[in-house]
A and B are shown apart, each in its own frame.
Chain A
Amino acid sequence: MKRPIEPLLWGLFSAGGVVAALLMPVHLFLFGLAIPLGWLEPPSFEGLQSLAAHPLARLYLFVLCSLPLFHWAHRFRFTLYDGLQIKHLNEVISAVCYGGAILGTFVAGYVFLVSR
């Protein structure tokens, strides 16, 4: 079956992979471990809040969340397809994965670009 949308999905996967590879380890290390566990001196709440409210930071966080979701969708789809050989559910898996990424992008857009 010809899938003209496949190059777009692969492009999003690739772009999300770059964003995730470059930026996610430091984010998870800082905000998931080092700051809450007190390994590093935490930034002040007000400082972090105003940093996150900056328009450039909002745009950055939106990209940080949306593109990697498409990376996840593409990889997870093929993990289920190749790894677990769930081939008969191909359409359902694609719908859940890419639909999840699109939904997540809307949520991220609302959180970072629309609200406040």
Chain B
Amino acid sequence: MNASKPFTEFHPRWFRQRPSTYWWLWKWAYLRFVLRELSSLAVAWCVVLTLLQARALAAGAAPYADLQDWLRTPWVALLNAVCLSFLMFHSITWFQLAPRAMVVRLGGWRVPDALIIAGNFAAWFAASAAVAWLALGAGR
């Protein structure tokens, strides 16, 4: 206890106003932050969809065709389109943030942020192309 500091027996409560639950709605930077966080729901949905596809594929041609029919219903297609835009948002923001989370040095030379970002985008396109090539070429 520092004796030189004045001491009050009953410490006053700090005045802190609780921000509104919707604090993130009124500024684009905050909204962007919350939308980016919500993109995780699209990630979870994509996992569920992948598991459903795997189960249908293993179950046979008829269950697989049923799943394709279900994926064609308007609300599922709309949900997938919305989720895809959230996933793109996640990818773009993730790759742009990468240089701040990870500084790459090559023999004392710090690789510029722009180069890391460009490398990330190149890896994204290469991985997407590889998946598309494998998936669409299956059985041909």
The interface stretch among A1-9, A23-31, A88-96 is A23-31
B59-115, CB < 8 A from A: 61, 64, 68, 71-72, 77, 80-81, 83-84, 87-88, 90-91, 94-95, 101
Number of interface residues of B (CB under 8 A): 53
Q: What DSSP secondary structure best describes chain B's contact surface?
A: helix
**Which residues of A sit under 8 angstroms from B57, Cβ to Cβ?**
45, 48-49, 52
Least CB distance, A99 to chain B, in whole angstroms: 14
Q: State whether B55 touches A31 (Cβ < 8 A).
A: no
Question: What distance in Å separates the Cβ of B36 from its nearest Cβ neighbour in chain A?
Answer: 8
9 A–B contacts, CB within 8 A, in A order: A26-B131, A30-B136, A36-B71, A45-B57, A48-B135, A52-B57, A83-B24, A108-B47, A111-B58
Binding site for B on A (CB under 8 A): 14, 16-18, 20-33, 35-37, 40-41, 43-52, 61, 64-65, 68-69, 71-72, 74-76, 78-79, 82-85, 104, 107-108, 111-112, 115-116
